[in-house]
Structure 1
């Protein structure tokens, strides 16, 4: 595919062909109906017995089935032509947009895609001081459009070639073949199931044209927004649509709660009897209001609210769910393009309603990593992606961490799968019970991470750093002098194994100063500065 071919392509020819096939399908359908009404049904009304009658009936049934199958095969050709027209139109639009922008910015694009420009600052056609950077972006857009068209071309050739072969050799009349072809077409409108391996998801996503991808984002955002293996930008687009829908749904639920029930049912022997419906009504109301407030906070950060702009660093909604305690996966900066990526797993009481505070921590880690190495880009993800315990009594259970393992492991693999260019430097970090979830996951799964940071940990399910399936020299622990959460436990044995702060555990100790259990991410605190160094891959001299 070259620039001239795509730019000058008359896409009306494909649309005309599709219209012709639609006309053919309509006519064929009418003939099939005539066959059914005038031949098959009429013969069925006659009383005809014997071997000849049975043979004729079987033959009529076979012909009817073949006619139905042929009509379906024709419809598959129409669908293939429609998809091709859509794919070529999108690619042509993207190419023309890039060429128009190039002309407007005083660049010349040659037939082979080479871009040139006037480098003389005093010239009326001077392309500017950042011309080289702009030219690279224009070249990327042109190449992407050509690749998009080539993909659409290869796809239509494959689909029409297959259907044409079915027509020429008669296999298109076979029910098994038609069923398979129908399933292949249906698969174009069905995303992989939740929990599918990220590599499989990526292969499926890349098999779609850009127009088909956009159709999924706009028409089926609920199917793709939470899928690991789909690029972050696409997930963000889908999830912003989902977020708006969820906000509307939560408001409806709040409106439909009805009037507040009376607090008491009466009294027994002078003692008031509370009304369970009153307690449940208030619980639901509080839950809905918290989730709506959290959506407002998330939207402010996503949309760059002045108070939440964080120096213009963008945020991406990688996933969320408002059911139950809810989940939220929000990244500060794009992990698909960042040099450094950290996934932060919060602990007890974390849920969708508290995600805003975890995003604030992610913002601080991005700033700290930039201070440690300003030449690289860092993405920090607040991964509220599991059902965390909501109280200290609940936080003694293994089950919350065990239930987080598959999702957290798949998410980490997904980050590697969708990352562009060379591998990023990836860190996984847990806080409080989040370290238990991280520890269990690393113990039972080989995660593609370079470093791990455990903050205020009650144990991680192993007694030595090497049992986390990573070189112990890349395991870092931190606990502030005011973090008293673990003071009730024995000196070396905590709830989930040996204290990671114990020298026998074999991890590096990060300075945490006087941080208490909840305030390691206070701006300019030594703890968050230390986190930034590890995240940026520049930990320096550590004790």
Structure 2
């Protein structure tokens, strides 16, 4: 069994190499072949790759079964042979095929010298035989049970292989999934319902759904590993098509390459969102680690002038620095503290179009910057992005392994406006903490009941409780001075106001201050996160008492 498993793995590796070679050959052909036929061939090649991958996975499963059960049966066999060939050697005992052990008979003695001890000697030999027999029969039963379990497990995997033989395009699809593929029904839009359905699907059914909707990985509620898998598949496809001049994506090549470069630099990153079609900009979200298994997850929404090609790498680098500091602070907690071994995973989210252009100060507005200036003083983009961001929060919750996860919504600049609008959305699960910085306002409605002639923004509309709303505003932050979207959170009651100036934090580091609009998440001149970065790390780690308050 073990030799067969090793040979099967070798043959499977050869098969996988052929599938990869096929994919490369098709990609190379696309360099010269254009048009509808080329697109159809590319799609067919992707389908073959997906089916080939699942076929290879099934073969690996078969090999694993042979390895697991072969090793287990081998251990049982070794134990049997040890009894027979070592312990019972030269004992004169014999063993039947069913494990019955026969002790030798003490020979009759013609004299009277041993007559008194003969019964006792025979009793001792019979007792030894009985002990051997019990052990041998137990091991034979164990071996038989192992063979039965192995046969059942291997037969199930062979049935899957048989299904591929009967239906070369893949394993059978159940009727409820086929109805989705045929357009009779749709996948749930509610992240929790989608996650529950997804857990019932086979790999072949998941791939069939991906073939129908190659942006499947963007659906909120899918497990992070599956979002990452399908989004990477689509990323590879779009890079190839963009390089070959496909008009749908050729102008997005720089964005796509920026996503790929970011993933290559961060081996533990997960691609939670990859979308070149729904907006004017390319959208992407990258998690620094697996958010489904982290006790603390934070979603970071950026603002003005953010693009995937120019900003994603920097955002992920900044998020990685915050993660490192957050986990360091968690590790410093006293032994026995339940948070000591927790992980924090930040997600850099560029999931909606954002204003672009040199929009400050207004005296510099001209024909090249007017569009961005109009966008940045208008909340339309923020309102368009807020439902997407709220749904993303719900998806993170739905796919997480533990409902007690601590989720922080973080927004910078125009992204703080979008974040503020996202947490105000009705019908969504609330986040645990809200942190905004460099904010031009949160578009809060006024309280309906207040003193006559006095208006006050309704911070309760954020659906985040007192003690869990935080803000930072640098002294020279020009964007935070824009009055377009209500009062800056630095003036609002119900927010904890955090320090942005220089400060020596609890770890003994003298941290630089954050003054201008871009400074908050960036390292200072000493190569360390600024005071604002320390505050971000402590809030997303669920350690607000370590944050530096004003």
| TM bucket, shorter chain | 0.5 to 0.7
**Partner residue in 2 for 1:71:** none
- CA distance in 1 between counterparts of 2:429 and 2:75 reads 45
**Partner residue in 1 for 2:353:** 387
**Partner residue in 1 for 2:189:** 196
Alpha carbons 1:194, 1:227 under 8 Å: kept: no
Q: Does 2:382 align with 1:401?
A: yes
Q: What CA deviation, in whole Å up to 9, does each residue of 1:224-272 have, x standing for no partner?
A: 2111111111111111111112112222338x8xxxxxxxxxxxxxxxx
1:193, distance to aligned residue in structure 2 (A) = 5.3
Name the CA shift for 1:485/1:238 in 2 (closer, same or farther; >3 Å).
same
> Of the candidates 401, 413, 416, which is equivalent to residue 394 of structure 2?
413
> Of the candidates 346, 353, 357, which is equivalent to residue 302 of structure 2?
346
**Partner residue in 2 for 1:94:** 61
Q: Equivalences for 1:110-121 in 2 at 5 Å? A: none
1:347, distance to aligned residue in structure 2 (A) = 0.7
| Partner-residue secondary structure (3-state), 1:249 | helix
- CA distance in 2 between counterparts of 1:497 and 1:102 reads 67
**Partner residue in 1 for 2:276:** 322
Unmatched segments (≥5 aa) in structure 1? 1-6, 8-85, 111-141, 157-180, 257-283
Alpha carbons 1:333, 1:379 under 8 Å: kept: yes
Q: Does 2:223 align with 1:231?
A: yes
**Partner residue in 2 for 1:296:** 257
Q: Does 2:488 align with 1:499?
A: yes
**Partner residue in 1 for 2:90:** none
1:319, distance to aligned residue in structure 2 (A) = 1.3
Q: Does 2:467 align with 1:473?
A: yes
- CA distance in 1 between counterparts of 2:245 and 2:203 reads 36
Alpha carbons 1:87, 1:209 under 8 Å: kept: no
**Partner residue in 2 for 1:527:** 532
**Partner residue in 1 for 2:199:** 206
Name the CA shift for 1:357/1:185 in 2 (closer, same or farther; >3 Å).
same
Report the TM-score, using the length of structure 2 for normalisation. Answer: 0.57
| Partner-residue secondary structure (3-state), 1:296 | helix
1:201, distance to aligned residue in structure 2 (A) = 1.6
1:334, distance to aligned residue in structure 2 (A) = 0.8
**Partner residue in 1 for 2:323:** 366
**Partner residue in 2 for 1:508:** 496
Alpha carbons 1:90, 1:211 under 8 Å: kept: no
Structure with the higher fraction of residues in helix conformation: 1
Q: Does 2:396 align with 1:435?
A: no
**Partner residue in 1 for 2:132:** none
Report the TM-score, using the length of structure 1 for normalisation. Answer: 0.57
Alpha carbons 2:275, 2:283 under 8 Å: kept: yes
Larger Rg: 2
**Partner residue in 1 for 2:96:** none
| Partner-residue secondary structure (3-state), 2:272 | strand
| Partner-residue secondary structure (3-state), 2:355 | coil
1:101, distance to aligned residue in structure 2 (A) = 6.3
1:213, distance to aligned residue in structure 2 (A) = 2.6
Name the CA shift for 1:510/1:92 in 2 (closer, same or farther; >3 Å).
same
